[in-house]
Amino acid sequence: MSPAASRVSDLVDLRVHHPEAVAEAAARRARRPLVTGRGRLMIVAADHPARGSLAVGGRELAMANRFELLERLCLALSRPGVDGVLATADILDDLLLLGALENKVVIGSMNRGGLVGASFELDDRFTGHRPEDLARLGFDAGKLLLRIDHQDPGSLDTMHTTARAIDAMAAHRLPVFVEPFLCRRAAGRVHNDLSAAAVSTAIAIASGLAGTSAYTWLKVPVTEKPDEMARVMESSTLPAVLLGGEVGDEQDAAYEKWRAALRLPTVRGLVVGRSLLYPADGEVAAAVDTAVSLLGPDTTAGEGT
């Protein structure tokens, strides 16, 4: 049995014999501020599996192997400059039990009900962390996905529940990262519109939700034409992080897009998942280190670790 498999075996034993260990690990976890110094963030995302999104490149079930995913996450979190992780409860519970979240920013994923390819994909209900769960566990923030299709009346329900979730997070004084998209269905699939006009509109809608924006951050994509990002990011004064998405063999081009966008005043970091955890060349540490370097030489990401 490999060392990684041995660790996971111990984790399963804990879940079987002592489920209270999750709450105990959360209670004693060493915490840090959400941002330090100049306010930059480098977050690794791993909330894809709970939405049924398991593919990476040509590997249809790449993220289905939880042992491998945890090993990659632990490696990424150990790299200098990585501030924390965004994930669903099952993954965060595993990482707590493995001791990988000490002095890290922990962001709980809140709505995972819009399963990939389902007829109800845009009915993105809050099936993950509730605000009270995040507060109880001493986690540092939440994240939610807001997809709006002008042809789908159900998008209004999604907007309404999103607004109330933001209100509830603010009541707990917990930041919430809102990931907004305008989207449309075509050939049975949901497509996000990454044009400058669509991203600007999505940002404007998300910024105006709830009774306060005091604790709201945005999680935004780089537009189809990266040179339009400066104009797009003038749509709101809310702090924002860039989402990575899957970049495949275009890793170097993605890095350059992120580097340029990170120079904008409202852009305060990166939240990247599959492209760092499953890079085309298989070198997780190198991919993570390169992403951290994009934050600039003066970044204080990872302080307190």
| Domain carrying residue 53 | 24-293
pLDDT category at 297 given cuts 50, 70, 90 is: low
> What is the distance between the alpha carbons of residues 178 and 220, in angstroms, rounded to a whole number?
8
Render pLDDT for 87-99 as a digit per residue (tens, 0 to 9): 999 999 999 999 9
Q: Sign of dihedral through CA atoms 291, 63, 72, 133?
A: positive
Q: Is residue 39 included in any domain, yes or no?
A: yes
Within 13 Å of residue 181, how many CA atoms lie on the same side as its CB? 18
| Average pLDDT of the residues of the chain | 92
Give the pLDDT of residue 71: 94
Q: Is residue 17 included in any domain, yes or no?
A: no
pLDDT category at 146 given cuts 50, 70, 90 is: very high
170 neighbors 211 (Cβ within 8 angstroms): yes
Mean pLDDT of 98-126: 94
Q: Is residue 213 included in any domain, yes or no?
A: yes
Give the pLDDT of residue 244: 84
Render pLDDT for 167-224 as a digit per residue (tens, 0 to 9): 999 999 999 999 999 999 998 889 999 999 999 999 999 999 999 999 999 999 999 8
Is residue 300's pLDDT more than 60? Answer: no
Helices marked H in the chain: 3-17, 21-28, 66-78, 89-97, 131-137, 154-171, 196-207, 229-232, 251-261, 274-277, 284-293
Is residue 250's pLDDT more than 90? Answer: no
pLDDT category at 296 given cuts 50, 70, 90 is: confident
Residue type, 168: A
Q: Is residue 108 included in any domain, yes or no?
A: yes
> What is the distance between the alpha carbons of residues 240 and 262, in angstroms, rounded to a whole number?
10
Q: Is residue 13 included in any domain, yes or no?
A: no
CA 264 from centroid of its chain's CA atoms: 20
User: Where residue 181 sits, what CATH number does that domain have?
Assistant: 3.20.20.70
Taking alpha carbons only, the member of 90, 273, 106, 80 closest to residue 177 is 106
Domain tally, the chain: 1
The lowest-confidence range among 32-41, 140-149, 280-289 is 32-41
Burial class of residue 285 in the structure, from the number of CB atoms within 10 Å of its CB (0-12 exposed, 13-18 middle, 19+ buried): middle
Helix (H) or strand (E) holding 266: none
Q: Is residue 8 included in any domain, yes or no?
A: no
Neighbouring residues of 119: CB distance < 8 A, sequence distance ≥ 6: none
Render pLDDT for 210-247 as a digit per residue (tens, 0 to 9): 999 999 999 999 998 989 999 999 999 999 999 987 66
176 neighbors 207 (Cβ within 8 angstroms): no
Is residue 106's pLDDT more than 90? Answer: yes
Q: Is residue 185 included in any domain, yes or no?
A: yes
Look at the block and give the residue holding tokens 């910024």.
207
Look at the block and give the residue holding tokens 């790449």.
62
Give the pLDDT of residue 6: 65
> What is the distance between the alpha carbons of residues 17 and 23, in angstroms, rounded to a whole number?
14
Q: Is residue 183 included in any domain, yes or no?
A: yes
